[in-house]
Amino acid sequence: MAKRPTSLPNIVINLDGSPADPIYRRLYDELRGAILAGKLVPGSRLPSTRELATDLGLSRTTVLNAFDQLIAEGYVEGHTGVGTYVSRALPEDLLHTRAKAAPLTKGSPAKRVLSRRGERLAATAVTLTQRNDKPRPFRSGIPALDLFPFATWARLTAQRWRNASYELLQYGDPAGYKPLRQAIAAYLGASRAVRCDADQVIVVAGSQQALEIAAQVLLDPGDAVWVEDPGYLGARGAMLGAGARLVPVPVNEEGLDVAEGIKRSAAAHVACVSPSHQFPLGMIMSVARRLALLEWAARSGAWIIEDDYDSEYRYSGRPVASLQGLDTQGRVVYIGTFSKVLFPSLRLGYIVAPPDLVDAFIKARAIFDRHSPTIEQSVLADFISDGHFARHIRLMRTVYAERQEALVKEIKKAGVFEVYPDEAGMHLVGWLPNEVSDVVAAQRAAEHGVDVGALSNYCLEQKMRSALILGYAAYDAKEIRKGVRQLAEALSQL
Ligand SMILES: Cc1ncc(COP(=O)(O)O)c(C=O)c1O
């Protein structure tokens, strides 16, 4: 369609455009553009619909539709018998500014004004990778998604939707769906020796939100926080986001070195630890260290955040109780997740808060995002109370133990690096010869079709031997065999 002069002074209407847009919409766009560009000034009269239809060779209905849209959005005012006028309510200076303004781009000043907290958050390293493909060996942190009983989950979900009560559909309790909180309290008491009642359990959107709530409620900008070195990036991110000053505390075979932490910052406000299965090295914090940590926290008034992220998977050795269960002074914030037993996209986890923090945590949770979806919480409560949760853990424990064994065997056979069996967890550490950079090794592995983590990426100050983090839970024996072959090939080229 060509550009058409009209009875509107100085206005040429161009009805070209996407064939997907109806013609009235293109006319509307042209008239709106002329108003915003100041070519049609407020108060000016538009030609009648009949006139414009003749000028443009359009049906009157098309023009009427365009006018109706402009009236509905307030660009023009129409009065029967009097005519249609550009609205005076649109201030002229705004129109002229718009006419001159360049489109907003990412770097334009109006987009750059962040709060200090916003700047901090934007600058904090976080994993944003979204995965759509089947997990490939040895991506870590992922359970065996193909072995999850989705038919059961679907049945329980359908059952809940069929009988969706008002309780499930309105705003829920920010602390979580009561039957789920009760089920979590019972499970943690029995299997992790956590001492709590259901009122201390707060259902959250995974461990990450638990860390975020704890950081925002317990820390002011500049406060010192002990973090394990090497340690979990998600914990560091949440602490940095709250403006905390990270104090790296080395871990050795007994876990976090408490004496070293006290030497570096006795007045720290918070210590983040993974005592049952240190992330990523896998050691258990010794009883002596646990007692020293609790003693320091009680004496100095510090809080301990205990991340019990993969405690369900212990294959041999004695069961390891939680640090929280040893705490008599109410200094431990215990956090756990369903990402490892169910699936990570569920975004459900929990905090067991010491009594003094329960109200503040629930309030913060409500402010951040009100609460987790109640239907999913109710399905999970059913999944636990019907015994599916315990059964799935039992099954996966056997499967993951076998997978770990297969990985150790294949690595030893290939002779690519040193690896030691672990009594727990879903990943192993493969120790490289020191002259090989783990970052380069991980890059080379990715080029050969395997995903591994580089230990040095989890280190702050501590200089560790080069090592790779290898998840095994999500991969069967065949995939593990092939993955190790690819890995050996990648490493042979270094
Ligand atoms: C140490 C540690 N904590 C917690 C999590 C779980 O995080 P989320 O519950 O936010 O999925 C992970 C996941 O990989 C982890 O490695």
Token couple for 354:
């010491």
Residue of minimum CA distance from atom 13 in ligand 1:
141
Residue of minimum CA distance from atom 3 in ligand 1:
309
Cα 400 off chain centre by? 25
What lines the ligand 1 site, CB under 6 Å? 141, 206-208, 232, 234, 274, 279, 307, 309, 337, 339, 344, 349
- Predicted confidence pLDDT, tens digits, the chain (494 residues): 556 767 777 778 888 877 778 889 889 988 998 888 888 888 888 898 888 899 899 999 999 998 888 888 888 888 777 888 998 876 555 555 455 556 666 666 555 689 888 988 888 877 767 778 899 999 999 999 999 999 999 999 999 999 889 999 999 999 999 999 999 999 999 999 999 999 999 999 999 999 999 999 999 999 999 999 999 999 999 999 999 999 999 999 999 999 999 999 999 999 999 999 999 999 999 999 999 999 999 999 999 999 999 889 999 887 789 999 999 999 999 999 999 999 999 999 999 999 999 999 999 999 999 999 999 999 999 999 999 999 999 999 999 999 999 999 999 999 989 999 999 999 999 999 988 999 999 999 999 999 999 999 999 999 999 999 999 999 999 999 999 999 999 999 88
d(CA 274, CA 62): 67
Q: How far is the CA of 134 from the centre of ligand 1 (A)?
A: 19
Residue of minimum CA distance from atom 2 in ligand 1:
309
Q: Which atom, in ligand 1's list, is nearest to the CA of 344? A: 11
**Entry pTM:** 0.82
Q: Which atom, in ligand 1's list, is nearest to the CA of 307? A: 3
User: Which residues touch 481 (CB under 8 Å, ≥6 apart)?
Assistant: 406, 410
